[in-house]
Copies of this chain bind each other. A is one copy, B any other.
Amino acid sequence: MPPAAADLARLDTPALLLDEATMTRNIDRLAVRAQSLGVTLRPHLKTAKSPEIARRVGGGAPGPITVSTLAEAETFHAAGHRDILYAVGIAPAKLARVTALLARGCDLTVLLDSPEQARATAAAGVPALIEIDSDGHRSGLRPGDPALIETGRILAARGTLRGVLAHAGESYAALGIAAQADCAEGERRAAVAAADALRAAGLACPTVSIGSTPTAHAARDLTGVTELRAGVYMFFDLVMAGIGACRLEDIALSVLTTVIGHQPDRGRIMIDAGWMALSRDRGTAAQPVDQGYGLVCDLEGRVLPDLIVSAANQEHGIVTRRPGTNGPLPELPLGALLRILPNHACATAAQHERYHVLPATPGPLMTWPRFRGW
| A contacts, CB < 8 Å to B | 12-15, 46, 68-70, 88-94, 97, 113-114, 116-117, 136, 138-139, 169, 258-263, 266, 270, 272, 275-277, 279-282, 313-316, 318, 334-335, 344, 346-347, 350-353, 372-374
Q: Determine whether the beta carbon of A374 is less than 8 Å from that of B282.
A: no
CA distance A272 to B111 in the complex (A): 13
Q: Determine whether the beta carbon of A335 is less than 8 Å from that of B89.
A: no
Q: Determine whether the beta carbon of A335 is less than 8 Å from that of B260.
A: no
Residues of B within 8 A of A372 (CB): 353
Residues of B within 8 A of A352 (CB): 373
Residues of B within 8 A of A68 (CB): 276, 314-315
Given A88-B315, A91-B272, A272-B88, are A261 and B346 neighbors across the interface (CB < 8 Å)?
A: no
Given A313-B138, A334-B116, A334-B117, are A280 and B91 neighbors across the interface (CB < 8 Å)?
A: no
CA distance A335 to B315 in the complex (A): 37
Q: Closest CB-CB distance, A242 to chain B, in whole Å?
A: 16
Q: Determine whether the beta carbon of B334 is less than 8 Å from that of A260.
A: no
Residues of B within 8 A of A117 (CB): 261, 334
Q: Determine whether the beta carbon of B334 is less than 8 Å from that of A92.
A: yes
Q: Determine whether the beta carbon of A88 is less than 8 Å from that of B351.
A: no
The 7 A-B residue pairs with the shortest CB-CB distance in the complex, in nearest-first order:
A280-B280, A89-B260, A91-B258, A68-B315, A280-B281, A89-B261, A88-B315
28 A-B residue pairs with CB within 8 Å: A12-B70, A12-B374, A13-B91, A15-B374, A68-B276, A88-B272, A88-B315, A88-B316, A89-B260, A90-B260, A91-B260, A91-B335, A92-B335, A93-B258, A114-B262, A117-B261, A117-B334, A136-B266, A138-B316, A139-B260, A139-B270, A139-B316, A169-B313, A276-B350, A279-B280, A280-B344, A282-B282, A314-B346
Q: Closest CB-CB distance, A258 to chain B, in whole Å?
A: 4
CA distance A138 to B90 in the complex (A): 44
Residues of B within 8 A of A314 (CB): 46, 68, 346
CA distance A350 to B15 in the complex (A): 16
Residues of B within 8 A of A347 (CB): 275, 280
**Partner of A282 from B91, B136, B280 at Cβ < 8 Å:** B280
Residues of B within 8 A of A277 (CB): 374
CA distance A12 to B91 in the complex (A): 10
Q: Closest CB-CB distance, A163 to chain B, in whole Å?
A: 18
Residues of B within 8 A of A89 (CB): 260-261, 270, 272, 316
Given A334-B91, A335-B91, A374-B14, are A261 and B313 neighbors across the interface (CB < 8 Å)?
A: no
Q: Closest CB-CB distance, A319 to chain B, in whole Å?
A: 12
Given A14-B374, A91-B13, are A138 and B318 neighbors across the interface (CB < 8 Å)?
A: yes
